[in-house]
Structures are given as structure tokens and as C-alpha cells.
Structure 1
Amino acid sequence: MKKKVLVARPTFPDVIERLKQYFDVEVNPGDVLPQAEFQRRIADKDGVFAAGELVGEKELAGAPNLKVVANMAVGYNNFDMHAFDAHGVLGTNTPNVLNETTADFGWALMMAAARRVTESEHFLRAGKWQKWSFDSFLGGDVYGSTLGVIGMGRIGQALARRATGFDMRVIYHNRSRVAPEIESKLNAEYASKEELLKRADHVVLVLPYTKENHHTIGAKEIALMKPTATLTNIARGGIVDDVALIQALRENRIAAAGLDVFEGEPNFNPDFLVLDNVVLTPHIASATEATRRAMANLAADNLIAGLGEGPRAGNPPNPINPDVLKK
């Protein structure tokens, strides 16, 4: 008998067909499953193709056959990895295939925030543009300014590479310093978080979400930033204290923000909607067809191999907790 797999959210039909070559596949054709329904559906499954579903102790305890949960994402803060280890379940993710696409989008958000693109477009669409004025929508320069990257992983490094074409100074903060040859190649200078926030003209967040990183940027950190600075978040909701950011934007204590992620998404604080100095997008930094296809196929590769099938049987490309494979 084929092993049973749940595809928890719709994905590309050809990816589904790949999975059906190996498994008995149940596909959720609609929106995100309520948590209780998700728990019910995985109860008899051997594997799950996930895209952000919460998987923890309760879910794993109720799914005794479950061996692999493949996340179609780089981040896996939706997984309780202690529970995964305790139940001998493998978690996987999809790193690397979205680095450049996500960096492109982060750059676009930063530029849009700095140059007041969204605000000026709304002004034009509302029929308010009646004349040219020397002081209309004066924004901040990107070229020749200082970029502060918090989280100097693959995507952070991709952003730093883009900065070289804009003749920017690059400072970064990370849990640990990157290798000296990477600093040299990117012309990047390590700084404490406090120093980075004080010096940077444009701060971009690309660090993973963990309990330790919750509200990495809050009222105290925002108070360190220049009043002309921008803040861009393409990492995860919860890294920024949204209430504190809204207050700072409302009071013009920083110039602008570009946000692709939010606390509690897809719900988010509606106070953002009345602010002119923020660019808002619905978690789409990796949203090109080529990249999303690459992510879906990599998640499928992980699931197929993790469940002992295909050319890489037993050796999935991206295990998060590889020690369970040894048990």
C-alpha cells in the first residue's frame, strides 16, 4: 500500500502529480484548514506537504504514523521542533531557492518606502495632482547612503551585494560575524545592533523568527534610529513590535517603513492602513512563478526522500532535524 500524504494547501498541479507517483495523496483544494480540521486530516497520514500550518505536540501526538512534514518555506517557526524530535518526526524546509527573489523584493520595498512611491501613487490616483512643486514628496536617497542589514544570512548577503551597485556603505548585525572573506567581498562592517540602528539610513530585517528574536525591533530600538531612516521587514511578523512601529510612524519619528510581514498575519493591525508613510504587501517577497515552483518542487523532494522514495530515498535535501533520520 502507498503511504498517505496530505497536501495542506493548494499548489502547482504538476507537483501534485509528482507526489501521486509515490503516495496516496489527499489535497486540500481550498483555503487554510482550521487547526482542528488540520489535526483530523493528518491523523492517519505518513507525510504532510505544509505551507505554514502549525505543527506541535498536539498535532504530532494525534498522528502516530507521521514521519515527515515538509514546509514550503525557509522559516519554520510554525514547527515545534522539540515536539518533532520527541516524536521522531522529520521537519524540512526550502532554503536557497528564494534568496535572490526575496532580496529583490526587499530592495523594492526599501526603495518604495524611501522614495514615497505608494504615498505619491495614492495622491495621483485620488486626483490630487494639480501642479508640480519643488517640495512634493521629498524622500530619502538610497544611492550613497548607509544600509543596515540585521540578519546576514544568504538573503542578507544578497541584499548587501545589491548595495554595492548603489555605492552604499553596508553595516550588519548577526548572531555571529560572517567569515572575513565574506565581509571583504561585500565591503560589509559588523556592528552591534544599537550602533547599526543609530548609523543606518535604511534598516532591513532578514533574520529568522525565534522566541529570542521576538520584538527585536521595539520602541527602544526605534528610538535609536534617525528620523530620516526607513525600516523594511521581509523576515517574519513578530520580529517587529507593530504597535510601537505604528506609533513611531504616526509621530514621524522615523521616515517610513516597508512591510511584507506582520504580527498575526493574515490578520494585521488596521492602524497601518491610515498611515501614509508605510508600504504594505501581503507576504509576497518570494512570489515569482519560477521561485514558488522551485520552492514547491523542493518541498516535494524533501517529502518524497524523507518517506523513503525516489532517487534520494532516506536522504532528503533539507532536513531541519537530521538526527531523527538516524533512529
Structure 2
Amino acid sequence: MLCNTSSYTFTEFPASINLVKNPFKRKLTEDEVLELVRAHNPDGIIAGVEELNEGIMKSAPNLKVIARCGIDLDSIDQKAAKKLNISVYRTHVAPDIPAAELTVAMILCLVRKLKQLDDSVRQDRWERTVTGLLYGRRVGIIGCQIIGTRVSYLMNNFGCSLLGYDPEVRRHEYIDMVDLDYMLSHSDIITLHMSLGKENYHLLGDREFEMMKPGALIVNTSRGGLIDEEALVKALRNKKIGGAAIDVFEEEPYRGPLLEFPENTILTPHVASFAGTYRFDIEKETMDNVIEGLRKKGVDV
């Protein structure tokens, strides 16, 4: 059994399963995944956000099961898996509450400038700056399904008005669904909660940042590839937007240019689901899926 995801810590699995963990303890490159698959020829893979394409699957003749440690399957070539008779599972435990809570915490930190205020006390400046207010702000939600919906519940209770963009959602209980351009040009705060695919890679680029309101705030706890980082850096440098809070990056661990903006960015190490018992529940269900899948394939586990 090969475990791609660097954050998997669950240990309560049958002794008959030999679990090979990600030796790099970070997101793997395609070449690294391929190297591990060829070296271990696993019966099953516990998948993170690394791409699992047909070439990688074919490099593991024994591969029978792929169990995604999470709800999104955007990184797995499901057509190839079906063709190769590989069962694909995902978890049903969605990290909607922890992801939504982190999103709201990030929004509040940006709006109320908590980093700057904390620094002013620690550096003995005691600057009692007037900050923004979340109440009455217009929040644009990109991706209005499980997690986006949970965010909408919380934002509604803060007295925010809500705009949403999601190609798969036409109507929503709390959110006024609009096209992306309208949402970008009319929102004070924009938060992303969408799976990543070829059709929305770098969904937010130079054009989209130019459309945003001056001083808009950006939050991404979803997928790093949804935002063109160069365009985001440019928008921050030119003060087109007021700040950004990012939990997910195309390259992790992150060592990129967003580190140059400590005053108006909040950067966290891909931890949206790491709260309460959610991570344990997700990892346990992933292992249960592996065991179920292998048994259905006739493997004695």
C-alpha cells in the first residue's frame, strides 16, 4: 500500500497491510509519484492531491484500489482507472465545517487587520488603527456546493450579502447566483471553494484581478491552481487588491513571492481540514475504503 499524501497519520490498519508513506513529507511531483509506484508496485494507493494519470496507473500492474483521502477526485484520471479495472473511492466525511471556519477566520483577520494590530502591540507602537467591518460587506463565493454553502451560512449570519459563481449551481438558498465577471466586479471579498480541473486552472488571472473592486480581499482554502500566483502577486504589489489569505499552493511547502507581503497576506500550510476529529474521521474512512476495495478484488486483508 502506497500513501501519497504527506499528512496521513492514521495507524490503525490490519497487520497484513504494509503501508509505504510519502518519504518526502510534502506534495509529490509527477516524477516522484511514478518513481514510488514503480519501486513498490502497490495493490492500493492512498491518494492526496497529486495527479494520478493513466501512465502512473499502468506503471503499477498490481494496482487495484485508489482511495482518495478527501472528497475531490479532480487529481485522479477516473476514465483510465475504469479502463484498467482500478476501483476509485473518496471519503464522504466532508471537511465543510473546519474549512468554512478557517475561511471566516481568515476573512476576519484581513478585514479587522489583526496581524497589523498584533504587531503594533508587540513592537510597542500601540497604533489604534480604524479597520474595516465585515457586517454589510458583499462576499463573492466561487464554488457553492458543500463547503461554499457552509461558508454562506456563516457569512449570512454576519450580515453579509452574498454573490456566487458555480457552473453546476443555478439557484441557492442563501446566495444570489451570477456570472463570474459580475461577481468579481461587485464583491468586497472573494473566497474560493471549487474543485480544480483543466477548465478552471488559473481561473483568477490578470484579467480577473483587473475586474475586482479596489481593495478587494481574496481567500483561497480550496486548490492552489485556481489562482495564477503571478497575477495575484502583481495585484498585491500594485495595491489593486487589499490583501489575500491563502491555505493552498501549487507548490507545497510554499517558498514563493507571497512571503514578500507580510502585512496584508495570511499564509497557512494547507490545514483547512485539520481541526477537531475531522482529519481522523477522513483518514479512517480512507483506510476503510482501501480495505473494502481490496476485499472486493479478492485480496485477503
Instruction: Report the TM-score range of the alignment, normalised by the length of the smaller protein.
Output: 0.7 to 0.9
Number of equivalences: 293
1:35 to 27, 33, 56: 33
Residue of structure 1 equivalent to 2:53: 56
Residue of structure 2 equivalent to 1:319: none
1:304 and 2:296 matched: no
Name the SS for the 1:307 alignment partner: helix
Identity rate, percent = 27
Residue of structure 2 equivalent to 1:233: 220
Name the SS for the 1:162 alignment partner: helix
Alpha carbons of 1:55 and 1:154: their partners in 2 closer, same or farther (altered >3 Å)? same
Name the SS for the 2:241 alignment partner: coil
Q: TM-score normalised to the size of structure 2?
A: 0.88
Instruction: Give the conservation status (yes or no) of the 8 Å contact 1:113–1:230.
Output: yes
The offset of 1:289, in angstroms, is 4.3
State the 4+ residue runs in structure 1 displaced beyond 4 angstroms.
none
Show CA shifts across 1:186-206 (max 9, x none). Answer: 2x2111111111111111110
Extract unaligned runs of 5+ from structure 1: 315-327
Equivalent residues in 2 for 1:211-230, closer than 5 Å:
211-230=198-217
Alpha carbons of 1:78 and 1:177: their partners in 2 closer, same or farther (altered >3 Å)? closer
Alpha carbons of 1:152 and 1:271: their partners in 2 closer, same or farther (altered >3 Å)? closer
2:275 to 282, 288, 291: 288
Residue of structure 2 equivalent to 1:155: 147
Instruction: Give the conservation status (yes or no) of the 8 Å contact 1:19–1:300.
Output: no
The offset of 1:305, in angstroms, is 1.6
Instruction: Give the conservation status (yes or no) of the 8 Å contact 2:205–2:228.
Output: yes
1:256 and 2:243 matched: yes
The offset of 1:86, in angstroms, is 2.6
Alpha carbons of 1:257 and 1:66: their partners in 2 closer, same or farther (altered >3 Å)? same
The offset of 1:264, in angstroms, is 2.1
Instruction: Give the conservation status (yes or no) of the 8 Å contact 2:147–2:193.
Output: yes
2-structure distance, mates of 1:174, 1:69: 28
Residue of structure 2 equivalent to 1:322: none
Equivalent residues in 2 for 1:84-163, closer than 5 Å:
84-125=81-122, 127=123, 129-133=124-128, 136=129, 138-163=130-155
1:47 to 25, 34, 44: 44
Alpha carbons of 1:6 and 1:264: their partners in 2 closer, same or farther (altered >3 Å)? closer
The offset of 1:300, in angstroms, is 1.2
2-structure distance, mates of 1:233, 1:29: 25
Name the SS for the 2:80 alignment partner: helix
Alpha carbons of 1:178 and 1:300: their partners in 2 closer, same or farther (altered >3 Å)? farther
1-structure distance, mates of 2:251, 2:7: 22
- The aligned amino acid for 1:227 is P
